Every structure is written in structure tokens, then in C-alpha cells.
Chain A
Amino acid sequence: MRALDLKLVRDLGRLWAQGLAIALVAAAGVMTLLLGVGTLRSLGETQQAYYERYRFADVFATATRIPARVIEQVAAIGGVATVEGRIERRVILDIAGMDEPANGLVLSIPDIGRAQLNDLHLVEGRFPELSHDNEVVISSRSPRRSGWGLAAS
């Protein structure tokens, strides 16, 4: 064996503990990286699957006081696959047990069938029925935080 090779072998032999520590740190780093990449990819795929399943819109636009026919005109634009109009309103809610009024966002849902875009994932209960004008769907975090429950139907 050449003297320089011999030197390398002996120096590595002398530094085996440090070498092992460095290898373990590097292996842990690689493992963390792989886990992170895997998690990121999994979250991305879950997000895409959710968006596909509930037909999440690519573009959102807000307009004030426009006639319903504008929705048809937007649908006629090349490349637009689906358009759905909603009514959106920010409201102040006076909730029992809260010192200050809460901010709320009221969104309309289609009155015929399920939404073509931005469909809702129902965790509990059922969708409002057309004939009932006193039923709502509430974002899942709000009732839990406020201690609300389902009304008996």
C-alpha cells in the first residue's frame, strides 16, 4: 500500500468515532429530508385530490350589484369550464356568551342540487332543504368553538 493510502487509512481509523458521528448526523439529515419531501408530496396530492373532488375554483372574482346574466357572459369566455355565482355578505353576529359581537361571512349555496364549484364537505348533519328558509351550513370550526350543536329536525 502506498504511504499516502496508508496515512488515509490510519487517519480514518483514528477518527472512527468522529466519522461515525458525522455519518449518523448525515444519515439523520438525509432521513429528515426524505420524510419532509414525502410529507410535502403527500400533502400536495391530498390538496389536489380535495380540490378535484370538491371542484375547487381556479379563479375568484367579486362584483357588487351586477345582473345575473353577467355570469352567462363570463361562462362564454374561452377556456372557462364552469361558472357559478354566489351571494356573499359580511355580517356582525350577536352571539350569546360573547362580550363583543362576532364577524361572520354569509355565503349562499345553490338552490338546486349540489354546488358545481367549491362544493362543501359535510362533516355532520345534512344540507339545507329548499323548502326550509331557516337552515344554514356552518363552517366546522365555529360551532365547536362556540359550543353549538345540531338542531333537531
Chain B
Amino acid sequence: MSDAAFRTLQLTKTYGEGETAVQALRGTDLVLPRGEFTAILGQSGSGKSTLLNILGGLDRASSGQAWFEDHELTALGEAGLTRYRRDHVGFVFQFYNLVPSLNAVENVALVTEIASNPMRPEEALERVGLSARAQHFPAQLSGGEQQRVAIARAIAKRPQVLLCDEPTGALDSKTGITVLEALSEVNAEFGTTTVVITHNAVIQKISNRVLTMADGRIIGETVNAERLKPSEVSW
């Protein structure tokens, strides 16, 4: 088995056709080692979210190839991608996507009820420091707490990869740091390959690897010899 969690080869993605076509990815090659915390930086429209969606099986590439470990994602059909997402991937979105009529523990249970080897919802909430807020509904939680519930929901099925799309985008610095701490702890404790796309350049300091994207391509890649703790950064 390869040491890479993700590999892509000349990945392209075009939205629309003809004169209105928009090329979001223009031949992206990358290798993301298993267990690493990777940040993908770039301006809006640089292709970050498109790349994350393809790696997460939420979208399909126009051409090129993408692998998760030994599975070629670009060869999978809808059913295969659904199975891949269910069995291997946890998602964290910018605006949490919690179900308003379910409390924190029930939101996490949505995932644990269909996962094959999940942890208990209460345990997942404990991992993100929200045991005391388990019975609270999203409207009764702060933004940071809601995002931590979303992280608990993402990790409750013990995914091999955690894909985060602007997880601190809607949060202030202090709250964002608590969210980054939760992500870092999950990455360190479970060895979950974590990919975070962000506008927030500070996040690169807590990452193993930093990719910079522009105009649908990866234009820079750095590996941090030393990572800062989330508590050591601010913005």
C-alpha cells in the first residue's frame, strides 16, 4: 500500500461549456502523505474547493486521475463515490451544516447510525470538549461550539481523512483557535489525514505541509520542519 493518502495526476475540472466554460483546475498534480495535516492556501477562485470536492468524492473531475490510497476515485461511479464518502471521509464545512432541530449529540448520531465502526456520539463530543453541551441545540451554541459539533460529527465514524473547507472562515480568532485545536488533536490522536483549505495564512504555521494554489494549479509546496500549536497563533 502506498504511503500517500491522496495522489492526483493532471487533474482538470471545467464548469460549463463553450464560451461560458470556467476551468477551475488546470492539470493539478499532488501527493498528500497519510496522516499529515495539510493546508491549501489560495485566493478565491484558485480551485481549492474544487480540488477538495474531488478528493472528497463530492464532485467528479473532467480529466486526469485521483487516488485515495489504492482506490482510483476518478474511476468510481456514483455508488462507489457514495460508499467512499461514507466509509472513509469526514467533512467539515465553513457554515457547520448542523440540523437545527437536533441537539449536538443527535447531530453526531446522524453519522454514527450509518457508519460501520463508529465511536459513541458522546465520545466524539468529548474529543472536541463539548460533553457539557451535548443536549444543546445549534441555536443555543456559539459559532465555535457549532463548528466543534461539526468536527465531532465528522470524526465520529473514525474516517481516514478529514476534509475541511474554510473551517474557521466564519469565526473570530479566539474561537477559530479552539476549532483548530480540535482538528489538530484529531489529526495527532487518530492519525487522520487532514486537509484544510483556507484563506487564513496563519493556518500554514500549524500544518505539516502547505500547498498554494493559483489559477487552478498548485504553484507552491512547503513542508514545515516544525509546527506551531494552534494556541501559539492568532489572527
Give residues in A with beta carbon < 8 Å to B. Answer: 2-4, 6-7, 10-11, 14
Interface of A is mostly: helix
Contact A4 B110 (CB under 8 A): yes
Which residues from B are CB-within-8-Å of A3? 102, 106-107, 109-110, 113
What are 20 A-B interface contacts by the 8 Å CB criterion? A2-B109, A2-B113, A3-B102, A3-B106, A3-B107, A3-B109, A3-B110, A3-B113, A4-B110, A4-B113, A6-B102, A6-B106, A7-B99, A7-B101, A7-B102, A7-B106, A10-B101, A10-B102, A11-B101, A14-B101
Give residues in B with beta carbon < 8 Å to A. Answer: 99, 101-102, 106-107, 109-110, 113
User: Who on chain A is nearest to B109 by CB?
Assistant: A3
CA distance A3 to B109 in the complex (A): 6
CA distance A7 to B101 in the complex (A): 6
> Which 5 A-B residue pairs are closest in the complex by CB-CB distance?
A10-B101, A3-B109, A3-B110, A3-B106, A7-B101
User: Who on chain A is nearest to B105 by CB?
Assistant: A3
CA distance A2 to B99 in the complex (A): 14
CA distance A10 to B109 in the complex (A): 16
Residue of B101, B102, B109 contacting most chain A CB atoms (<10 Å) = B101
CA distance A2 to B101 in the complex (A): 13
CA distance A68 to B218 in the complex (A): 103
CA distance A10 to B99 in the complex (A): 11
Which residues from A are CB-within-8-Å of B102? 3, 6-7, 10
User: Who on chain A is nearest to B112 by CB?
Assistant: A3
Which residues from A are CB-within-8-Å of B110? 3-4
User: Who on chain B is nearest to A12 by CB?
Assistant: B101
User: Who on chain B is nearest to A2 by CB?
Assistant: B113
User: Who on chain A is nearest to B106 by CB?
Assistant: A3
CB distance from A5 to the nearest CB of B (A): 10
CA distance A10 to B103 in the complex (A): 11
Residue of A3, A7, A11, A14 contacting most chain B CB atoms (<10 Å) = A3
CA distance A10 to B113 in the complex (A): 18
CA distance A31 to B85 in the complex (A): 48
Which residues from A are CB-within-8-Å of B106? 3, 6-7
Which residues from A are CB-within-8-Å of B109? 2-3
CA distance A2 to B102 in the complex (A): 11
Which residues from B are CB-within-8-Å of A14? 101
User: Who on chain B is nearest to A13 by CB?
Assistant: B101
CB distance from B134 to the nearest CB of A (A): 13
Which residues from B are CB-within-8-Å of A2? 109, 113
CA distance A85 to B99 in the complex (A): 80
CA distance A63 to B109 in the complex (A): 86
Which residues from B are CB-within-8-Å of A11? 101
CB distance from A91 to the nearest CB of B (A): 75
Residue of A4, A11, A14 contacting most chain B CB atoms (<10 Å) = A4
CB distance from A40 to the nearest CB of B (A): 45
New contact pairs (17) apart from A2-B109, A7-B101, A10-B102, CB-CB < 8 Å: A2-B113, A3-B102, A3-B106, A3-B107, A3-B109, A3-B110, A3-B113, A4-B110, A4-B113, A6-B102, A6-B106, A7-B99, A7-B102, A7-B106, A10-B101, A11-B101, A14-B101
